[in-house]
């Protein structure tokens, strides 16, 4: 929706008509960090569960999220809002619940974003030591990445999209090269399909595998976050969403299956325990040469950087959506006149990242386990919970407002997705200690879910307080760009009186 180009309107709107399908796709897939998942999540899954059916798990989760996307993108045609989950839950279920969901989203995306600072520091350290004989602290590397992300966060969204395009394309190419090399050198001289067999997945431990697999897709949902900045969002958002789910599922399934072929299905668990995230690089070095392993390690670092840029933009836009509707301080709803980027939200996200890096550096805590692994898993679980609630919201919204959508899009797909997602969430919470890599009696086992519950309740209470004390603000919850018009009309009425 366009507004007159006045000073105030320019400061309350994101830049329109900036992103096509490729750009949105780059944001979405970069957040999923394909190379990080293939190198880390896949081998971790083999290692902690002992099951070899992980390639099939990625395909199943891809189908589930594809089913969810049917209603998700259908609703995007009727609700255009950078707040995504927040807007959908507000309009589908209730406004207080939508506010609660928005607070959970901020906590979850911040955890995902800041967790990556620990990983990029640890991933780049051995490269700097090997290539330049430099022994650099992880937090120094993290600060360099932080500065890059901070600078890009204030630029035009399409500039960020171009940077992500370069990083993502090279990342995908190296996964394809690794996979082709693995398939060209099968253990025992024969390509096997054992890891794609249902019998090797549907056994005890399947819950942890499915939950781990779905965490690898976190970021696919962000296509809707960029709907206000997309060209022809009715076409761009659905296309980018479906493509991202299909490509992510395909890359993960191919990469994990190819690794099992190269090592042998009967050895993939043992090799994952022994080599962990180094397994794909060791295989590539043996098949092609050590230079390709070095390239892969370098692209792992850029993959993490790309994800940081993507999550930074997503989180800043959530803050913008809440500020624009005055659910949070209105300053958050301001954008740059020059770039159209959500300046205040971006700066706050930058400050949070700096604070986390400094605190972990002073505390001397493990940047991989205590920051990336715990933060990423906790953030991923928060997003998974939001996806489930959003699926319910989509079904309820279309039950009240069919809006010309087909029965498949407005009723069948959303409710089937809700059932499937509820099963995955059940398994995820049941195996959360395994996902975190902690004992069942560890404080984080229930601490993280309880934090999300408290955050949701606090947001709901705030929404109810707005309903009683600020009905003008309450009326704009979930309206997105239309909230500017509603607010302007209300202000005009007050002035007229």
Structurally, how many domains does the chain consist of? 1
Query: Does the predicted TM-score (pTM) go above 0.95?
Result: no
One-character DSSP codes across 107-139: HHHHHHHHHHHHHHHHHHHHHHHHHH-----HH
Q: Please check whether residue 324 lies inside any domain of the structure.
A: yes
Q: How far apart are CA 47 and CA 39, in angstroms?
A: 12
Chunk the chain into consecutive blocks of 10 residues (it has 497) and report each block's average pLDDT, rounded to whole numbers. 39 62 82 84 85 92 94 85 82 94 92 91 89 91 94 72 80 92 92 91 82 84 75 82 91 94 93 88 91 89 86 86 87 76 87 95 91 90 93 94 87 94 90 86 93 96 94 85 49 38
Eight-state DSSP code of residue 16: P
Question: Is there a contact between 439 and 457 (Cβ–Cβ < 8 Å)?
Answer: no
Structural domain boundaries, residue 216: 7-496
**Which has the closest alpha carbon to 171: 303, 40, 75, 39?**
303
pLDDT at 160: 66
Q: Please check whether residue 2 lies inside any domain of the structure.
A: no
Q: Please check whether residue 455 lies inside any domain of the structure.
A: yes
Q: How far apart are CA 228 and CA 222, in angstroms?
A: 12
CATH of the domain at 148: 1.20.1740.10
Question: Is there a contact between 282 and 293 (Cβ–Cβ < 8 Å)?
Answer: yes
Cα-Cα end-to-end distance for the chain: 29
Letter string b/e over residues 180-213, b meaning 16 or more CB atoms within 10 A of that residue's CB:
ebbbeebbeeeebebbbeeebbeeebbbbbbbbb
Q: Please check whether residue 230 lies inside any domain of the structure.
A: yes
pLDDT at 362: 95
pLDDT at 10: 38
Whole-angstrom Cα Rg for the chain: 22
What count of other Cβ atoms lies within 10 Å of the Cβ of residue 267?
14
**Which has the closest alpha carbon to 217: 73, 62, 76?**
62
Q: Please check whether residue 434 lies inside any domain of the structure.
A: yes
Q: Please check whether residue 1 lies inside any domain of the structure.
A: no
């Amino acid at each position: 929706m366009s507004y007159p180009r006045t000073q105030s309107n320019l400061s309350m709107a994101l830049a329109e008509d900036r992103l096509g399908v490729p750009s949105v796709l780059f944001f979405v897939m970069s957040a999923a960090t394909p190379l990080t998942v293939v190198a880390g999540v896949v081998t971790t899954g083999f290692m902690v569960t002992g099951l070899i059916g992980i390639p099939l798990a990625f395909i199943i989760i891809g189908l589930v999220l594809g089913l969810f996307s049917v209603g998700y993108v259908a609703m995007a045609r009727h609700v255009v809002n950078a707040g995504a989950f927040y807007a959908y839950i507000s309009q589908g279920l209730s406004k207080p619940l939508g506010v609660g969901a928005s607070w959970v989203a901020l906590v979850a995306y911040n955890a995902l974003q800041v967790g990556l600072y620990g990983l990029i520091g640890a991933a780049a350290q051995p490269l700097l030591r090997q290539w330049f004989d430099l022994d650099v602290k992880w937090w120094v590397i993290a600060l360099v990445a932080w500065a890059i992300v901070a600078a890009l966060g204030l630029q035009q969204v399409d500039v960020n999209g171009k940077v992500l395009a370069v990083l993502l394309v090279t990342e995908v190419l190296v996964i394809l090269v690794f996979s082709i090399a693995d398939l060209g050198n099968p253990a025992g001289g024969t390509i096997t399909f054992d890891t794609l067999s249902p019998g090797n997945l549907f056994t005890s431990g399947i819950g942890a595998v499915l939950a781990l697999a779905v965490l690898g897709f976190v970021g696919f949902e962000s296509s809707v976050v960029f709907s206000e900045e997309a060209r022809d969002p009715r076409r761009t958002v659905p296309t980018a969403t479906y493509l991202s789910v299909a490509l992510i599922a395909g890359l993960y399934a191919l990469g994990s299956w190819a690794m099992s072929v190269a090592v042998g299905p009967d050895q993939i668990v043992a090799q994952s325990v022994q080599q962990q995230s180094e397994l794909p690089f060791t295989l590539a070095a043996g098949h092609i040469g050590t230079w390709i392993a070095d390239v892969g390690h370098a692209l792992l670092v850029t993959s993490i950087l790309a994800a940081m840029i993507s999550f930074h933009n997503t989180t800043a836009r959530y803050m913008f959506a809440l500020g624009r509707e005055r659910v949070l301080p209105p300053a958050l709803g301001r954008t740059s006149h020059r770039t159209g980027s959500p300046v205040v939200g971006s700066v706050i996200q930058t400050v949070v990242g700096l604070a986390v890096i400094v605190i972990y550096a002073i505390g001397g805590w493990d940047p991989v386990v205590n920051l990336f692994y715990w933060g990423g898993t906790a953030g991923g679980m928060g997003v998974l919970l939001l996806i489930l609630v959003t699926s319910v919201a989509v079904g309820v919204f279309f039950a009240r407002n069919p809006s010309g959508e087909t029965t498949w899009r407005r009723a069948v797909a959303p409710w089937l997705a809700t059932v499937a997602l509820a099963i995955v969430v059940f398994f995820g919470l049941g195996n959360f200690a395994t996902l975190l890599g902690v004992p069942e009696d560890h404080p984080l086992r229930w601490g993280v879910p309880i934090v999300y519950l408290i955050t949701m309740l606090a947001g709901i209470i705030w929404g109810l307080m707005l309903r009683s004390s600020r009905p003008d603000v309450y009326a704009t919850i979930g309206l997105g760009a239309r909230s500017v018009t509603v607010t302007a009309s209300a202000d005009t009425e007050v002035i007229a009186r």
